[in-house]
Amino acid sequence: MQTPASFLGSCRKKLEPFNKYEPYNSTYEQIWKNLIKNEIDSFFYIGGNDSMDTVLNLSKFLNFVAPNQFNVIGIPKTIDNDLQVTDHCPGFASAAKFVATTFLELERDCKVYKKPAVTIVEVMGRDAGWLTAASGLSRLNGGTGPNLIYCCERKFSLNEFLNDVETELSCNSNEGILISVSEGVTIDNETIDRTNQMNYFDEFGHKQKSGVAQYLQKIVANQIKCKTRSLELSLLQRSASHLASQVDLNEAFNIGRFAVEKGYVEKLTGKMTTIERIQNQPYLIKFGTVDVELVANKVKKIPSDMLPEKPDINNELISYLEPLIQGQPNIVYENGLPVHLNLNSLI
Amino acid sequence: MQTPASFLGSCRKKLEPFNKYEPYNSTYEQIWKNLIKNEIDSFFYIGGNDSMDTVLNLSKFLNFVAPNQFNVIGIPKTIDNDLQVTDHCPGFASAAKFVATTFLELERDCKVYKKPAVTIVEVMGRDAGWLTAASGLSRLNGGTGPNLIYCCERKFSLNEFLNDVETELSCNSNEGILISVSEGVTIDNETIDRTNQMNYFDEFGHKQKSGVAQYLQKIVANQIKCKTRSLELSLLQRSASHLASQVDLNEAFNIGRFAVEKGYVEKLTGKMTTIERIQNQPYLIKFGTVDVELVANKVKKIPSDMLPEKPDINNELISYLEPLIQGQPNIVYENGLPVHLNLNSLI
């Protein structure tokens, strides 16, 4: 018969990234002990595809050591929006609203001068370009939006990129052009030496890919000889709560409540809650659940029929994105700044 | 007697940067001709210390070629807030509100993990650290703010910086720390080779100094060996109209109206309009004018009595900044995004 230790041993490979900063064989056992000690039977884990792998393994582990006693439920949350099965992920819509608003505002800065200039903006998304695509939403209110949108699902050729930039500059009478690019773009199948990129790894062992915009900027400056700038939306796109989408906030709250129903009340385990879109106009969704193994460690990229041949997004993708960024929460301001809730002050 | 051409010749050195992209000796003459052609007698120029140099020279030129016929008035506008005489500059307060809000939000991202990490954020300000100082306003609503604030008025020693970072990491039990730094910081009197910096020049011939945060990040990563990140607020801090300060918007509108009174109505020329702060609580200002030569090409740095010895800001600086970021304008949203006014649609 398998012991808890040997079970953990068989999971070792999968668990390793999770345990990079903690002794490997104690993590799940410690969670188990803490659940018993605190008389907790339901465990909710909020996150992306790595977190869903944790949900998968923890639910397997707990089911092995104490069958039918614990309920482990994953709740999707990632600005990358790259979880399988669910229509979209809480958190994404607010980040998308920030990205779209920011591109709308950058247009005011980058396209007003009668001089050729190229501004390249790097948007988060290691494996999927959903958030980069949201830069195109800046066109909804009459803006021209980014001239070029490079989601990481597209094959990226440096020569084609330089041609695109030159074409856009000449089509726009050598005025400024604005470009959005996914941080995860693979340039010429990554044969280029990305010396500008930071070589550090996140807590799940993924190489951080930031630096694409700066890399491209240097090439444009060198080849096209005009003013070039690069910027990264960096942490701001996942932190800007003052620009949250009300649709997102409602869904985030309600999918949490739904998870409690499924885990704590109905005693499901090894599931992730999902959002299913029923219709776009008016926008209507319902929640569901899925076996978390169908989500863990998988990536949902933008489907090819949502991306046109040129570096841009199409109407289908806009229709998918638009309902998500609707509604502005009533942000409370004091001293000229948003008030953040301090959970410690509530205890 | 001096001719227009010889007058321009005598100004040549001063005018040169302005004329970098246009034939030197035609600019002011062309403005003059256009004013006559369009029956315009009042010229308002909005900008920073370079723009005030233009106001100075244009007013001199017009007064030379057509005495008492034209009124040239400068109106301050710079997020750098570095114009002499005026208490502060329209535009700065909104950028300061964006910077303070962003640091408040970055704190949620950077200080929540129980792991040592250093996040270095570069804030605009080539010659003055006002906007960097505004990062400290994030403490107004109970936040801890940046652990370290390096305005460019401070002498910046790399060794002291590394000591500061290590001290902050150990004081905060090796949790994440957040640092703000002016783009214009001079590291060890600039003896360091800033190979990461972009070597391009703006339209006034100033070398762009972006890249300090990334430069420092690499050194911290190398010397202190913990997770490090750098980001630049870049164009966002001067574009984020959705986070404008209502105080700033009111002052911007009213100082424009005041300038029209002084130029078009009272026929003053060679002046810049100013804001004079009468008191802080309640905040009260009045407008005035100053000879533009007292402002042109000069820089108002943060006075030394507003900066403590450690890399931080003091209460006096907070009292100066706080009234400026008050009030939120009623931003109109459509399709989930702010609506921008299109001047072309009004014509």
Between A119 and B4, whose confidence is greater?
Answer: A119
Contact A200 B227 (CB under 8 A): yes
pLDDT of B345 reads: 75
For residue B14, pLDDT over 50 is answered with no
Residue of chain A minimizing CA distance to B141: A339
For residue A208, pLDDT over 80 is answered with no
Lowest mean pLDDT among A163-167, A275-279, B24-28: B24-28
pLDDT of A188 reads: 85
Q: What is the pLDDT of residues A298-332, one digit of tens each?
A: 999 999 999 999 999 999 999 999 999 999 999 99
With beta carbons less than 8 A apart as the criterion, state whether A105 and A119 touch: no
Q: State the pTM of this model.
A: 0.90
Q: Residue A190 — very low, low, confident or very high, per pLDDT cuts 50/70/90?
A: low
Contact A140 B336 (CB under 8 A): yes
pLDDT of B2 reads: 47
With beta carbons less than 8 A apart as the criterion, state whether B181 and B123 touch: yes
Q: What is the pLDDT of residues B101-155, one digit of tens each?
A: 999 999 999 988 888 999 999 999 989 999 999 999 999 988 899 999 999 999 9
**What percentage of chain A exceeds 90 in pLDDT?**
76
**What percentage of chain B exceeds 90 in pLDDT?**
76
For residue A184, pLDDT over 70 is answered with yes
Query: % helix / strand / coil in chain B, to the nearest 5?
Result: 45, 20, 40
Smallest Cβ distance to B337: which of A141, A233, A333? A141
B330 interface with A at CB cutoff 8 Å: no
Residues of A in contact with B108 (CB under 8 A): 239, 241, 340
Q: Residue A57 — very low, low, confident or very high, per pLDDT cuts 50/70/90?
A: very high
Residues 30-69 on B with a CB inside 8 Å of A are none
For residue B9, pLDDT over 70 is answered with no
Q: List CB contacts of B120: < 8 A, sequence separation 6 or more.
A: B179, B181, B213, B216, B217, B220, B228, B229, B230, B231
To the nearest whole Å, the CA of B68 is away from the closest chain A CA by 32
Q: List CB contacts of B92: < 8 A, sequence separation 6 or more.
A: B78, B79, B80, B81, B130, B131, B248, B324
Q: Residue B13 — very low, low, confident or very high, per pLDDT cuts 50/70/90?
A: very low
CA gap B56, B228 in Å, rounded: 46
To the nearest whole Å, the CA of B69 is away from the closest chain A CA by 30
- Find the catalytic residue in A80, A127, A248, A312: A80
CA gap A117, A134 in Å, rounded: 23
Contact B102 A240 (CB under 8 A): yes
- CA quadruple A214, A215, A218, A223: dihedral positive or negative? negative
User: CA-CA-CA-CA torsion for A89, A93, A99, A103, nearest 10 degrees?
Assistant: 130
With beta carbons less than 8 A apart as the criterion, state whether A131 and A96 touch: yes
Q: List CB contacts of A268: < 8 A, sequence separation 6 or more.
A: A71, A73, A262, A289
Q: Is A248 a catalytic residue?
A: no
Between B132 and A192, whose confidence is greater?
Answer: B132
Q: What is the pLDDT of residues A114-171, one digit of tens each?
A: 889 999 999 999 899 999 999 999 999 888 999 999 999 999 999 999 999 999 999 9
Residues of A in contact with B326 (CB under 8 A): 335-336
> Which residue is associated with the tokens 């009030």?
B327
> Which residue is associated with the tokens 């004091």?
A334
Contact B241 A105 (CB under 8 A): yes
DSSP characters over B63-132: HHHSTTT-EEEEEE--TT---SSSS--TTHHHHHHHHHHHHHHHHHHHSSSSS-EEEEEEE--SS--HHH
